[in-house]
Amino acid sequence: MFTLAARRMGYRINVFAPEDDTPAGQIAYREVRAPYTDLDAVRRFASEVSVVTFEFENVPHETAEAAAEHAHVRPAGRVLHVAQNREREKTFLARAGLPVPRFEVVRSAADLDGALGRLGCPAILKTARFGYDGKGQSVLRDAEDLERSWQQLGDSPLILEAFVPFEAECSLIGVRARDGETRFWPLTRNVHANGILALSLPGVFAASLQEQAEQTMTRLMEHLDYTGVLTMEFFLRGGELLFNEFAPRVHNSGHWTEAACHVSQFEQHIRAIAGWPLGDTRRHSDCVMENLLGDEIEATPDLTGIPGTVVHDYGKAEVRQGRKMGHVTRLKLR
Ligand code: AMP
């Protein structure tokens, strides 16, 4: 989606991906297929472009460093390094004085037993790496779940997190330019089903909460000396926002910005990393965004017949149950 935005802005985009037939590759100027660990391929790729950015955070740190030998890398590789590992991320956030749920590092069944005793039940055991959409997680409702959870996840580095009985989940998406200027979209309420984002509702929270979220994100951006679009996911509890995780990129919960704002999160990211002036983050319409999972994508032609409905099909070749295939934004027309 930011390749689409960048092309409209007049840029040619080269895509580097380990897999074939990526949605971005379909519209790229050039697509290079190589593993992230092929650092010579990464260096060659970077020497042909001006700026390198990422569409997900699990790119190895070494890959970003190799790219930085030849091109500007924005956001910087060290940001990926923090974001791609929950242990590093939570430790970094806690040290930066940002409010996170209580957590402990777990390396053995004995660690887990001790941590569960201190944090209490329920708690969530999470793999430090490669967790998303609820994958790599196990909820411990009582001490009897310890053995099952350890069997399930114990072969990876883990953290145990106190369960937050939240009233709502929400995310803030913001952007920081190279000169430090920041802008934010409205805090968005997110509803998950089976650990996967189902619905995003922007603009449903009070201004005081928006301010709290913006202050937290500004602190994080400054700590990271960040350039580009950044996302923070929060749990809302008793009027306070607790930090769940951050993503150094555009985010699914901001896909509605392409339909309801003059400047989408995608264009905004390209603006920030290319050194353009930041765009307006206000909505021209109220809206709700729904993900289209698996074969829900087949409803696309019918959905487009409804006024105020904007559908985006990612063009993924393979339809799998629960896979994010596209999204629909329903605008409240005036
Ligand atoms: P994550 O991959 O960490 O974003 O977790 C996926 C989902 O699991 C979140 O969107 C929450 O619905 C739930 N979850 C994760 N951590 C916690 C927690 N500490 N307390 C309650 N629910 C959680």
Q: What is the pLDDT of residue 133?
A: 67
Does residue 205 have a pLDDT over 90? yes
Ligand 1 test: best mutation among 85, 164, 244, most atoms within 8 Å of CB? 244
pLDDT-based confidence at residue 23 (cuts at 50, 70, 90): confident
- Mean pLDDT across the chain: 94
Q: What is the pLDDT of residue 316?
A: 87
Where on the phi/psi map is residue 322: left (φ > 0), alpha (ψ -120 to 50), or beta? left
Percent of the chain beyond pLDDT 70?
99
- Ligand 1 centroid, distance to 243 Cα (angstroms): 10
Please check whether residue 41 is in contact with residue 34, taking contact to mean a CB–CB distance below 8 angstroms: yes
- Give per-residue pLDDT as tens, 42-68: 999 999 999 999 998 889 989 999 999
Q: What is the DSSP letter of 34?
A: -
Residue 124 Cβ < 6 Å to ligand 1: yes
Does residue 146 have a pLDDT over 80? yes
Calpha distance 241→323 (Å, rounded):
29
Atom of ligand 1 nearest to the CA of 165: 21
Residue 85 Cβ < 6 Å to ligand 1: no
Q: What is the pLDDT of residue 195?
A: 85
Q: What is the pLDDT of residue 194?
A: 87
Q: What is the pLDDT of residue 21?
A: 80
pLDDT-based confidence at residue 333 (cuts at 50, 70, 90): confident
Mean pLDDT of 293-308: 93
- Give per-residue pLDDT as tens, 171-186: 999 999 999 999 999 9
Calpha distance 230→224 (Å, rounded):
11
Q: What is the reported pTM? A: 0.94
Closest C-alpha residue for ligand 1 atom 6? 134
